[in-house]
Amino acid sequence: MDKMNRETLMEVFERLYSHYGPQGWWPGETPFEVIVGAILTQNTAWSNVEKAISNLKKDGPLTPEALFRMDETELAMRIRPSGYYNVKARRLKDFVRFLFENYGGKIEEMFNEDPRILRERLLRIRGIGPETADSILLYGGNIPVFVVDAYTYRVFNRHGLLPEEISYEECQKMFMENLPKDAGLFNEYHALIVRVAKEFCKKGRPLCRGCPLEGI
């Protein structure tokens, strides 16, 4: 745990950034599209999310109003490529209802809310857990909240920087207390962790040789 300090965390970031460069996360033409993507990407590859979003934009821009008016069955069919489409259609509908009931359907109004209050409200929406809520805040609202996922646990645990048993909140706190509170940094850092986890720190047998984090 004592290894998880600012110096080490910045060394990890600098190595990854030097190796990969900027990642340009999160793909989306609007904050609302980013939010939709954050909900759809649960348990599926991003390529499938792109197909689902493309289907949603066939008849015009992807807006809260468009999803609010869309029949849930039709919505499910359009997002079918993302998998678990009936469940995800309900989640999208629940989010859009939340947006209209609390913020008049305005994304900018939602992000003007106190981030701590907004996060608590998002977590009360069925199907939105900490990772999705924080992705919405960071990538949709440019709010400095560090997103933790399975890739984060894997990479940092394998390098002895995190214990095997640690909660989402504890892990997130370690990053946020040891890094500058900067949304751009948090954005890039999380994207780089995902990149190195997919290419080197694989779920099965890791490819340690040549990894930008080799030796840490």
Longest dimension (CA), the chain: 54
Handedness of CA 110, 114, 119, 120 (dihedral sign): negative
Q: Which residues contact 22 (CB under 8 A, 6 or more apart)?
A: 188
> Residue 27: which pLDDT band, with cuts at 50, 70 and 90?
confident
d(CA 118, CA 126) in angstroms, rounded, equals 15
d(CA 195, CA 174) in angstroms, rounded, equals 21
> Residue 126: which pLDDT band, with cuts at 50, 70 and 90?
very high
Strands (E), 25-162: none
Q: Which residues contact 125 (CB under 8 A, 6 or more apart)?
A: 91, 94, 95, 98
Instruction: Give which of 148, 149, 143, 155 is closest to 184, Cα–Cα.
Output: 143
Q: Give residue-wise pLDDT tens across range 153-198.
A: 999 999 999 988 899 999 999 999 999 999 999 999 999 999 999 9
